[in-house]
């Protein structure tokens, strides 16, 4: 089979396409023909050795992929050939709070990922995907969608009529917006450009603020909520947006933070009211499955910004790194 490998860190040229033996399943394993992948910020961090978990040299990169089961080991019971599946970001994390050892194993980092024609792994590392989704759509789910779902399912639950603030038009932000609507929430989104306002409204934003035109957008958000502030923030921005999103919060609000913690400092007085700041890492397999039930029931469709062919995977990385996309950047079938 054809497979990309991470032969060198720090440069896109380190991602090298080559041949590899097509895998066979062990006793509790399945082989999946990968039909589509999607990129995440962590894939860049791994490439540049900035990720908390060191990538293995020579590993097949990319955590997110979806495809079809083509072979199963003799002890496999949950899945069968023909099943449409996606990989789980943390293959060992089933449910409940994550334990450190469950965080230390990831596709495209410590084990071979999705940028190949086939992947082999234990059946527990995959979930079935909703029927109405294409493989490209399904490939957007493992990291960004599960992260957005987890952001909305913390201890401070999202009730219908509560307000949720999302930041920008990245993958997590768009899923958070779409999911917040499923919870019956009122959604407020901020973005940096007029043309994205319309996209956000299509995807379910009740109100959209262009933060370039409204540098005091925190006050605007408070005004929109009768002075109270928003109940939930899915913070996918930066320490700059965090200062304002905290200022836009209601008493007792929760800020679910997906920030890359690469720098910056939070002014302590910004922690106003009774806000809880909760960090999260993607989610468990149980979260993924619960999310899939919601996606399937509501026939929700992920937003795909652009699709690259398999042979142009490096171009996909480059496009993604430029951060001008909306939604998810995917890499299609190797066929």
The answer to whether 314 contacts a second copy (rule: CB under 8 A) is no
First and final CA of the chain: distance in angstroms? 11
CA-nearest of 324, 259, 260, 320 to 12 is 320
To 10 degrees, what angle do helices 239-247 and 217-224 make?
30
Per CB under 8 A, does 252 bind a second copy? yes
Length of the chain: 335
Q: Among the candidate windows 7-15, 32-40, 140-148, 254-262, which touches a second copy by CB under 8 A?
A: 254-262
56 binds a second copy (CB under 8 A): no
Q: In which residue are the tokens 């961090």 written? A: 45
Q: Among 16, 54, 80, 159, which residue sits at the site for a second copy (rule: CB under 8 A)?
A: 159
DSSP annotation of 178 reads H
Q: What is the closest distance, in whole angstroms, from the C-beta atom of residue 218 to a second copy in the complex?
A: 17
Rounded CA-CA distance 268/191 in Å is 25
What is the SS3 assignment for 328?
Answer: strand
Smallest distance from a second copy to CB 312, Å: 35
Residue 74 near a second copy by CB under 8 A: no
By CB atoms closer than 10 A (0-12, 13-18, 19+), residue 21 is exposed
Asked if 257 interacts with a second copy (CB under 8 A), we say: yes
157 binds a second copy (CB under 8 A): yes
Interaction of residue 265 with a second copy, rule CB under 8 A: yes
**Cβ nearer to a second copy, comparing 248 with 326:** 248
Residues near a second copy, by CB under 8 A: 26-27, 77-78, 94-101, 103, 153, 155-157, 159-162, 179, 182-184, 186, 228, 239, 251-252, 257, 259, 261-269, 271-281, 284, 286, 290-298
């Amino acid at each position: 089979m054809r497979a990309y490998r991470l032969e060198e860190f720090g440069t896109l040229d380190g991602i090298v396409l080559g041949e590899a033996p097509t895998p066979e399943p062990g006793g509790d394993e399945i082989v999946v023909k990968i039909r589509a992948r999607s990129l995440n910020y962590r894939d860049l961090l791994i490439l540049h050795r900035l990720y908390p978990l060191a990538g293995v040299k020579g590993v097949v990169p990319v955590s997110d992929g979806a495809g079809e089961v083509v072979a199963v080991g003799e002890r496999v019971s949950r899945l069968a050939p023909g099943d449409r599946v996606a990989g789980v970001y943390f293959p060992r994390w089933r449910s409940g709070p994550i334990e450190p050892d469950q965080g230390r194993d990831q596709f495209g980092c410590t084990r071979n990922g999705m940028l190949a024609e086939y992947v082999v792994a234990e059946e527990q590392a995959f979930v079935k995907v909703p029927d109405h989704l294409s493989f490209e759509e399904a490939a957007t789910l493992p990291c960004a969608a599960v992260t957005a779902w987890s952001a909305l399912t913390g201890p401070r639950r999202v009730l219908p009529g509560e307000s949720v603030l999302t930041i920008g038009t990245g993958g997590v932000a768009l899923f958070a917006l779409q999911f917040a609507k499923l919870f019956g929430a009122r959604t407020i989104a901020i973005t940096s450009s007029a043309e994205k306002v319309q996209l956000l409204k299509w995807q379910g934003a009740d109100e959209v603020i262009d933060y370039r035109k409204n540098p005091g957008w925190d006050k605007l958000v408070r005004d929109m909520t009768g002075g109270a502030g928003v109940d939930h923030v899915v913070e996918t921005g930066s320490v700059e947006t965090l200062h304002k999103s905290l200022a836009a919060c209601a008493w007792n609000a929760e800020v679910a933070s997906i920030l890359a913690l690469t720098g910056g400092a939070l002014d302590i007085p910004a922690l106003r009211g009774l806000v809880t700041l909760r960090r999260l890492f993607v989610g468990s397999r149980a979260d993924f499955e619960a999310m899939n039930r919601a996606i399937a029931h509501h026939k929700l469709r992920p937003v795909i910004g652009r699709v690259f062919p398999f042979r142009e995977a490096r171009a996909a990385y480059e496009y993604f790194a430029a951060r001008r996309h909306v939604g998810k950047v995917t890499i299609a079938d190797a066929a």
